[in-house]
Amino acid sequence: MHADHTMGVVPMLRNVLFAPSIDPNAYVPVNPPPRIEVYGPAGIRTFIRSILNMTLTKTGEKYIVHELLRDEDVATPCEPPEVLHSSELVGRDIRCSEDGFWRGFTQGVGALGDVVVDAGPILHRDPCLGYIFREPEAPKRKIVILGDTYDPSPILPLCTSPSPSLLIHEATDAHIPREISPQNKRTPEVVLRTALARGHSIPEMAGEFAKTVGAEKLVLNHIGGRFPAPRHGRDERTHVIREIERQATEAWQGSAGGSGRYAMAAWDFMRVAVPAPPSMPPNETHPIESWGVDPSEGLVYVNNKRRKW
Ligand SMILES: [Zn+2]
């Protein structure tokens, strides 16, 4: 529920749900289905409801919030009906199973079969969740998206067999050697201690978890503000980001790049394709070759392998 992960939800909802019609004769459907369904931890329903109410937001379409609740969590009431926002429908209170996981709490139709979503706890300084999107039938691709964490091992049982096609793991802080970042005064020990104290990871920890679960691809996100996005060209910022990727890659794959696989630091609007195995027929939505261009420099990633542009 930390602000850097939730403050964007309401602006996004306003866009998706549109403004109410100003035409007094406009058709108003009876019991319309929700336009969008939000899933999140305890409190996300109160958060969205409160901000919509306090900002006097009215929308044309309906939304619904389902809360993933641990044993000790208190659900946000949807009763009596007056407590709901005028655009809100009654959501589900989804309790975790005895082992603390939410397995298959929702599913949808994907291009090559159903996609099922699981969630489980990961360790941060406050309660935090990771999510798994998987195909239970062929081709059984699996995407693991973790929130803030200094140790995601509680969610391990959901991350294995099959292992993730793609793991997205935070790397908030990192030690950058003086040769790359001359103004850096922090030792590796200080960086690690600070990251752990704040409940976060360094690239090496992301790489180690990727190795533990046998991830086929690794993308690093939640990179701290002290490591700004590279501008065009090979400047210091670029070298810093490459170093963050190198550290994660080394922990994941052994000597960096030896396997030809690199961890990738995420950038805004990055796309990572997770292709079906070659035995599956390719289609337009799932090309066999995935690729992305790092706009900061002449790098292109093809199936997670780094090549010169
Ligand atoms: Zn965060």
Distance 2 CA to ligand 1 centre (A): 6
Query: What is the 306 CA–ligand 1 centroid distance (Å)?
Result: 28
222 Cα to the center of ligand 1, angstroms: 7
291, 287, 245, 249: which is closest to 272 by C-alpha?
291
Q: What pLDDT is attached to residue 231?
A: 80
CA 1–ligand 1 middle distance (angstroms): 9
Tokens standing for residue 53: 């109410």
Q: CB neighbours (10 Å) of residue 206?
A: 33
CB 68 within 8 A of CB 45: no
Ligand 1 centre to CA of 145 (Å) is 13
Distance 70 CA to ligand 1 centre (A): 21
pLDDT tens digits along 175-198? 999 999 999 999 999 999 999 999
pLDDT band at 300 (very low <50, low <70, confident <90, very high): low
In the chain, % helix, strand, coil (3-state, to 5) comes to 25, 25, 50
Is 298 a residue whose pLDDT tops 90? no
The pLDDT tens digits of the residues spanning 104-162 come to 999 999 888 899 999 999 999 999 999 999 999 988 999 999 999 999 999 999 999 99
C-alpha span between 56 and 53 (Å, rounded): 5
Residue list, CB under 5 A from ion ligand 1: 4, 148
* 284 CA distance to ligand 1 middle (Å): 34
Q: Which CATH number fits domain 101-309: 3.40.50.720, 3.60.15.10, 3.40.47.10, 3.10.20.340?
A: 3.60.15.10
CA of 200 to the centre of ligand 1 (A): 8
Read off the tokens for 277.
Answer: 């195995």
pLDDT at residue 307, rounded to an integer: 56
pLDDT in the model for residue 209: 98
For 67-76, 184-193, 213-222, 234-243, which range has the lowest pLDDT when averaged over its residues?
Answer: 234-243
Give the residue extent of every domain in the chain: 1-95, 101-309
CA 92 to ligand 1 center in whole angstroms: 26
- At 305, is the pLDDT very low, low, confident or very high (cuts 50, 70, 90)? low
d(CA 172, ligand 1 centre) in Å: 8
Instruction: Pick 69 or 305 by higher pLDDT.
Output: 69
